Amino acid sequence: MGCIESSDTIGPPGILHVKKVEDALALFKDRSYLNEGLTSKVYSAVLHHNMELKCVVKVISKTEMGAEKARDSFKTEVQVLSRLNHKNIVKFIGAFEDDKQYIIQQEFLMGGELFDYILDHYDENDEMSFPEQKASRIIKQILSCLAYLKKNNIAHQDIKAENNILRKESNGDEDVEICIIDFGFAQEVVLDRKYDTIAGTMVYLAPEAIRLAASGRTGAQLLAADMWSLGVIVYMMYTGVYPVDCPELEGTNEYQEALMEKLGSIEEIDFSDIDASDDALDFLKQILQIDTSKRLTPEKALAHPWITKAETNTNEIGSKSLNVLKETYREAQISRALRTIYKLLADAQPKIQNIFNSIDKDHDGNITKEELYEFFQKECVQEDLINEKVHSFFKAHDADRNGFIDLKELEDACCDMVISSNEAIVASMFKTLDADHSGRIDLDEMKTVFGEVDAEKMLHL
């Protein structure tokens, strides 16, 4: 496929239709589970015909997202990625679909998220800092990508730290290569046409997304919104917090509405407490401009002294900012993991009830060993293994030791299965909670994230 130019239009992508997505997955070897989102599962794998090519395989459920929304998101991502060619954009490999699912193949990026890189190479005990020089080199790569997208009239619409991934692992000494991922919200735009869509992550949204929600935004304003989102990333590097947020309401039902109201009414960003070089501060002030006509474009940002004079920049982002970033980023990671697990468990709830009812033959609200034995027989479990399975299941999940499994105990068993089958999510959450890298989570670490009362409750679950 040819690379897109600003005068081109995006044509229909090459999507291979298969009878079953499993047929397409059979093309991959050494498939390994990576993580699970609200509507998709992500694996790493290698292609049978090319053992050197390791890739990411994203399987998207049409029913979880809703058929129309899933189709639009899938086709948009494939249409855009299949025609783009930039070193800082994740490489597209292929796409498949059947009646129930979509598959997108992309290159495998090994280096982890941007903020993980910054924080993994910072030691709070030694009060180390992060060089501005490295920060500006990283942002220069993202700007190069945004300039390329702008040239081709493509708005990404979900620029955020989590969508900037290192192509390979780094020991912190050499320069890193950043890749932008997740083009599910991307849109090819006409500069003077109005669009009424609002997409992306709330804390990265530009103010005009809310202010102009009723009238719609022009294509030019959608492109400018990506620059605001990049400004949020830079602001977080220097402060550890989002430029527009309502932290006191986070986790409540009022949070989203309050944040939207604040975004829609804010007149300027507070830069008074930022400890940064003059060039960095000026860059932030110009990129986080409320007025889109005054906001830096990617081209102007690339010509800004904070970018062009990086080699002579000896300033540092201090430990105070990095400590705050660590806490903000930690909470965001845990929130993502908990939302995913909650969604998985919520989806499983009706199925658990149906399974319980099918096993509980006399409908007395309890499963006996005999009823579970019969269930395993119907599931074609080998006869000589059934007694062992029944015994081990009751030993592990009959919490009150009354000789029966009730619905709550079956739900807990299924919860354990969901968590154990999502090891990547749990491992990420553990790593985030284990602030001192001791290999265990203590009460103080739980209090840092969940608060004193909730941490005490969780400790006694």
Q: What percent of the chain has pLDDT over 70?
A: 71
Task: Name residue 425's amino acid.
Answer: I
pLDDT for residue 458: 44
Top mean pLDDT of 78-82, 349-353, 388-392, 446-450 is at 78-82
Query: Taking residues 299-328, what's their average pLDDT?
Result: 90
Between 222 and 38, whose confidence is greater? 222
Query: Taking residues 353-367, what's their average pLDDT?
Result: 89
Give the C-alpha separation, 439 to 434, whole Å.
Answer: 7
What backbone torsions phi and psi does residue 341 show, to the nearest 5 degrees? -65, -40
In this structure, how many other beta carbons lie within 10 angstroms of the beta carbon of residue 358?
A: 11
Give the C-alpha separation, 187 to 80, whole Å.
Answer: 8
* pTM of the predicted structure, to 2 decimals: 0.72
CA-to-CA separations, 416 to 19, 269, 367, 379, in angstroms, rounded: 33, 45, 18, 20
Give the C-alpha separation, 236 to 227, whole Å.
Answer: 14
Please state which of the ranges 50-59, 209-218, 272-281 shows the lowest mean pLDDT. Answer: 50-59
pLDDT for residue 239: 92
Query: Taking residues 92-111, what's their average pLDDT?
Result: 84
Top mean pLDDT of 9-18, 58-67, 159-168 is at 159-168
Please state which of the ranges 233-237, 279-283, 328-332, 344-348 shows the lowest mean pLDDT. Answer: 344-348
pLDDT for residue 459: 43
Residues making up the chain, counted from first to last: 461
Instruction: Give the mean pLDDT of the chain.
Output: 79
Virtual torsion, Cα 290, 291, 297, 303, nearest 10 deg:
-80
Between 193 and 63, whose confidence is greater? 193
Query: Taking residues 222-232, what's their average pLDDT?
Result: 98
pLDDT for residue 422: 53
pLDDT for residue 377: 80
- 166 beta partners: 178
Pairing of strands 16-17, 130-131: unpaired
Structure tokens at 398: 């009959």
Position 329 confidence tier, pLDDT thresholds 50, 70, 90: confident
Which residues are catalytically annotated? 158
Contacts of 214 (CB under 8 A, 6+ apart): none
b/e per residue 242-278 (b: at least 16 CB within 10 A):
bbbbbeeeeeeeebeeebbeebeeeeebebeeeebbe
Query: Taking residues 38-61, what's their average pLDDT?
Result: 68
Give the C-alpha separation, 423 to 26, whole Å.
Answer: 23
pLDDT for residue 13: 46
Please state which of the ranges 35-44, 102-111, 427-436 shows the lowest mean pLDDT. Answer: 427-436
Between 450 and 357, whose confidence is greater? 357
Task: Name residue 341's amino acid.
Answer: I
Between 36 and 169, whose confidence is greater? 169
Position 455 confidence tier, pLDDT thresholds 50, 70, 90: very low
Among residues 363, 372, 459, the alpha carbon closest in space to that of 410 is found at: 372
Among residues 163, 290, 130, the alpha carbon closest in space to that of 225 is found at: 290
pLDDT for residue 15: 59
Query: Taking residues 316-328, what's their average pLDDT?
Result: 85
Instruction: Name the strand (E) or helix (H) holding 29.
Output: strand 28-36
pLDDT digits (tens, 9 = 90+) for 8-31: 333 334 555 555 656 666 666 666
- For the cut 90, the answer to whether the pLDDT of residue 63 exceeds it is no
Query: Taking residues 108-127, what's their average pLDDT?
Result: 77
Distance of CA 190 to the CA centre of its chain: 28
* List of domains in the chain: 16-107 (3.30.200.20), 114-317 (1.10.510.10), 337-459 (1.10.238.10)
Residue that is written with structure tokens 């081209």 in the block: 299
pLDDT for residue 170: 75
Position 316 confidence tier, pLDDT thresholds 50, 70, 90: confident
Between 415 and 123, whose confidence is greater? 415
pLDDT for residue 105: 85
Position 55 confidence tier, pLDDT thresholds 50, 70, 90: confident
Between 429 and 104, whose confidence is greater? 104
Among residues 224, 239, 297, 304, the alpha carbon closest in space to that of 271 is found at: 239
- For the cut 90, the answer to whether the pLDDT of residue 208 exceeds it is yes
- For the cut 70, the answer to whether the pLDDT of residue 419 exceeds it is no
Give the C-alpha separation, 39 to 100, whole Å.
Answer: 12
Top mean pLDDT of 121-125, 156-160, 372-376 is at 156-160
